[in-house]
Structure 1
Amino acid sequence: MTLSNDMAALIGFACEASLWGAYTVLFFVSMVLLFRRKERGFGNMPVIILSIALFLFCTAHFALEFNHFYTILRSIGVNGFANETKPLVGADIFISLCDLLGDFLLVYRCWALWGKKVWVVVLPFLTAVAGVGCMARAVHLTLVISPTAPVPDPSIVPLTTAAFSLPLCTNVMATGLILLRMWLMSRRTVTGLGIHGSKRVARSAVMIIVESGLLYLVTQLIFVVLVALAHPAQAIVAVMAVQIYGIAPTLIVLHVGLGIAVDTTTQNLPAGSTWASHSAGLATRSDVHVRTGTSVIGGAHGIKADGESLEMKTMESQSDFTAAV
């Protein structure tokens, strides 16, 4: 049986409702972890503000979809359920805004990992913003050309495709830059800490790709393909993607906050050390001193080894929880 636009919209709402429920639980748990771990690096306000704004935007989108669900079903039933309305136009705008905030979280993590060098993230930032610009133009043209159509008019499809392809490029570039930075760190680790440290950093790099980029990337790629094909299933993936934009970074907060994953802003972190395990939820920007006798590796933090004991001396630290988000 051919999937109709109305049926796709109904399935999409059911899927989004489930994902929003899961996202709500994950978000509040992550906030509890952030606020209860002040002694382990809490204080990165940009990522906290972005996370809260992202949750509010995702919730606003679900609220608009829920309002459309009970209003339209009560008034006209299933036939015509997918037709565009003014509240759905607002929901479409929130799709792009949620995508933008998710990209900003990824770009921020990349920026922090690269030592806060602006030039590294200029292009990913611009493609993310350009995607919102394309989406704004596409919404305007939709209201002018076909204000009630369930899918974009064929003349608008290229612009709509660009609106979601550009954030996809942001994801690919930012994730690639994160992987490159981790690879460069692993090369430095080989010199100072041996092959064991290198393997640990390499595993962290893979974890970043899988946890932070892959879920977001696959969802966005499927959505872009469906939009380009003008397939009705785009109505399912579109609303699911909104909640995934929020779930993906929130999972990273949980993994780091619970000590499951290591942080990725820490530079030259000595793998296998007691301090490395302790700082799984604390992103400390700066190099690390590893003092074994008279040898010193790194820069701003010191760890002294004396027989079986380890003395950690923090000379200068900056809490930066974001890179794990």
Structure 2
Amino acid sequence: MSPTYVPNDSLEQVCFLTAALVETGVYGVYASLFILNFVYTACRREVRDDTRLASKPFFWALIVMFMLVTFHEFLILFRVIRAYGLGLGADGTPLSYLRQYERWDNIAHAALLGIIICFGDALVIYRCYIVWGYKLWVVALPILLFLITVGIALTLDVWFTKPFTSYDNISLIVDFSYPINLAQNVLTTGLITLKILKQYHLSSSTGLVSTNRVSLITVTRIMVESASIYTVELLFLIILYFANSPGQFIVQSALIPSIAFRSSA
């Protein structure tokens, strides 16, 4: 369990504002890459018949993810304007506004974080399922971890709107959320990478490797690098969370577009 939290209002206000700026910057990079990828995919004229069934749902799921992340970015800017610009907090300070959990934007902000994490995890598990030739047993453990994550997110959403126990009790659940998410991310990324490399070595041994070698290595590298960024962020978030540092809010905000980037890479 994390140590007793000692509030530092001034530092928290700076971290919340910095978090908004960081998420906006990372979102700008993600949105640019998404639009370029969307245009490229939409303009492709040749789609293999055996991948059409799998790629179509995934393509539309990525659009939904983009909409969720964009709405979260809107909420971030909306809250910053109302808290820091208009000073609508109970005592006029930004932090007093951000701590008013009965406000719809604060509720939506917290709920959307769990939705985006769960949706991104589901996409990665689905990709792993496809890569391994629709073998359910391969993704059994990731699915179990995913269900635990969903259960934690729902519990926190309910507690956030209607606290049914003390913060000390609910923090026991929160303590497990990020480590479980990290374990699932490492597991699914490792499974996908393992399958791609196994397929490459199989093709090499049978003499079927041609110009696809470069593209295969490139795809694997991009996928691993995008997942690595998310993994490093999770590690920092876990450290800051258990240290009770308000810097966790900055990393958490960067995590939102990174989840979407990991899912689409």
For 1:78, the equivalent position in structure 2 comes to 94
Larger helix fraction of residues: 2
Residue aligning to 2:66 = 55
Cα displacement (A) at 1:89? 2.2
**TM-score, normalising length: structure 1:** 0.66
* Bigger strand fraction: 1
Once residues 19 and 187 of structure 1 are traced to their aligned partners in structure 2, the CA distance between those partners, rounded to angstroms, is 36
Which protein is bigger by CA-based radius of gyration? 1
Instruction: Select the structure with the greater relative contact order (CA < 8 A; seq sep ≥ 6).
Output: 2
TM norm structure 2: 0.80
Provide, for residues 71-121 of structure 1, a one-character-per-residue CA deviation record: whole Å limited to 9, x for no partner: 122122435354243322211111111112221221122111111111111
CA shift in 2, pair 1:14/1:205, >3 Å: closer
Q: Which residue of 2 aligns with 1:18?
A: 25
- Rounded to whole Å, the distance in 2 between the matches of 1:52 and 1:242 is 15
The Cα shift of 1:171 comes to: 0.9
Q: How does 1:201-212 map to 2 (within 5 A)?
A: 203=217, 207=221, 210-212=224-226
The amino acid of 2:13's aligned partner reads D
1:96 and 2:96 aligned: no
State the identity as a percent.
22
Counterpart secondary structure, 2:46: helix
- Comparing 87-96 and 158-167, the one that deviates more: 158-167
Instruction: Report the number of matched residues.
Output: 246
Distance change >3 Å, CA 205–CA 70, structure 1 → 2: closer
CA distance in 2, matches of 1:208, 1:112: 18
Aligned residues of 1:11 and 1:236 also touching (Cα < 8 A): yes
The residue aligned with 1:245 is 259
Instruction: State the alpha-carbon separation in 1 of the partners of residues 77 and 209 from structure 2.
Output: 53
> Is residue 131–residue 165 contact of structure 1 (8 Å, CA) maintained in 2?
no
Find the counterpart in structure 1 of residue 136 from structure 2.
Answer: 118
Residues in 2 aligned to 1:195 and 1:21: alpha-carbon distance in whole angstroms: 37
Aligned partner of 1:155 in structure 2 is 169
**Amino acid in the other structure paired with 1:127:** L
Letter in 2 for 1:59: T
1:24, 1:208 → 2: CA distance? 17
Code of the residue aligned with 1:230 in structure 2: it is N
Shift of 1:56: 0.9
Structure 2 gap segments, 5+ residues each: 1-7
CA 195–159 in structure 1, closer or farther in 2 if over 3 Å, else same:
same
Confirm or deny that 1:217 pairs with 2:231: yes
Correspondence for 2:3: none
Structure 1 segment 30-49 matched on structure 2, within 5 A: 30-41=37-48, 43=52, 44-49=55-60
Q: Alpha carbons of 1:187 and 1:21: their partners in 2 closer, same or farther (altered >3 Å)?
A: closer
Name the CA distance, whole Å, in 1 between partners of 2:219 and 2:38.
Answer: 25
CA 220–201 in structure 1, closer or farther in 2 if over 3 Å, else same: same
